[in-house]
Amino acid sequence: MAIKELIEARWKAIICGLIALVLVEVSTATYGLFKSALNTSNMQQLPQFLQQQMQQMTGSYDLYVWGNWFAKNGPEIMVIMAIVLGAGLIAGEVNKGTIFFLLGKPISRERVLLIKYAISALILLAISAISCIALLVTAAIAGHPQNIGGVVISTFLLWLGVLFGLGLALLFSVFFKDALWPLICALVITLLTVIPSFIPDWGAWNLISYWSNQAVYMGQGFPAKEFAICLVAAVVPLILALALFRKRAF
């Protein structure tokens, strides 16, 4: 069954992998370009606070890469990929009518769901790993070798974080009959989790803020709290999806 899931998801995985690769390159290889832009007369015309922000970002290569990939582009693109992969897992089978072929076999619903989830999670892990390698190689070529441990742990944390999106999409995929609604619902709920970051003193409730950690990227400590939060956030929608799928009538 795993092979079937891999074959089914192969084009999505390839496209997502390529997009991630391009974004990693954009996030890492543009440092020089950005830094030189800061010195031009055009940049001087920008408001003071923007100039300050950009100067902070380009203060060091490591900070620039972390800010661009792990704090911004990485979570955004990876969670969209997770939702795209998860939205069709069950709803796609229902929509095409293959759910009856699948569930007519002597295989438990729990196994069906977990295999589908595991394959999607592995695809996301593979995309994360490719991005991680691309980041390390590009940085090394640019003459800014990165802390390998920090990059690997940050990549793993990001992957664990976006499993929340995958679980959410899977949960809605069990509920709806086509892949569009799970996609929309999962995206909306993921966006809603960012709202606390706009409320003073509520920043700790912003789930996505736990998907990356600057200190860890710089090789300072292990993000146990972030890992625990991401793990719980990933497991809860999966458990709900399992419970719903077990009861779902077709």
Partner 1 sequence: MNEQQSTLTTGPNESYLENKQAIAIDIQDLVVKYGSKRAVDGLTFTVPIGSIFGFLGPNGSGKTTTIKTLLGFRPPNAGGARVFGYDVASQSLQVRGRVGYVSETNSLYDFLTIPQLCAFCRSVSQEWDQQVVDRYIGLFGLPPKEKVGNLSKGMKSQLALSLALGSNPDLLILDEPTAGLDPMARHEFLNTLVSEVASRGKTIFFSSHILSEVEAVADWVAIIRSGKLVLCDELNHLKQAKKVVKLTYVDIPPATEIETLRCLPEVMNLAQEGRSVRLLTHGNVDILEQSLKTRPYTLRDVETVDLNLEDLFLESMKEVDHGH
Nearest to 237, CA basis, from 184, 180, 190, 178: 190
User: Encoding tokens for residue 238?
Assistant: 């999966």
Site string for partner 1, 221-250 (x = CB under 8 A): ----------------------------xx
Q: Does 108 bind partner 1 (CB under 8 A)?
A: yes
| Interaction residues for partner 1, span 5-24 (CB under 8 A) | 7-8
Give least dist CB 110 to partner 1, A. 11
Give least dist CB 108 to partner 1, A. 6
Instruction: Give 184-246 as a DSSP string.
Output: HHHHHHHHHTTGGGGSTT-GGG-GGGGG--HHHHTT-S--HHHHHHHHHHHHHHHHHHHHHHH
Beta carbon nearer to partner 1, 24 or 89: 89
Among 47, 106, 143, 200, interactor with partner 1 by CB under 8 A: 106
Q: Does 1 bind partner 1 (CB under 8 A)?
A: yes
Nearest to 160, CA basis, from 223, 246, 97: 223
Q: Does 101 bind partner 1 (CB under 8 A)?
A: yes
Beta carbon nearer to partner 1, 60 or 98: 98
Beta carbon nearer to partner 1, 14 or 26: 14
Residues in contact with 106: Cβ distance below 8 Å, sequence separation at least 6, in sequence order: none
Give least dist CB 171 to partner 1, A. 20
- Distance of alpha carbon 58 from the chain centroid: 24
Candidate segments 49-57, 91-99, 152-160, 164-172, binder of partner 1 by CB under 8 A: 91-99
Give Cα separations from 183 to 92, 99, 177 (angstroms): 12, 19, 12
| Helix 2-29 and helix 31-38, axial crossing angle in degrees, nearest 10 | 30
| DSSP 8-state symbol, 179 | S
Q: Does 104 bind partner 1 (CB under 8 A)?
A: yes
Beta carbon nearer to partner 1, 19 or 102: 102
Q: What are phi and psi of 38, to 5 degrees?
A: -65, -25
* Sites of contact with partner 1 (CB under 8 A): 1-4, 7-8, 96-98, 100-108, 249-250
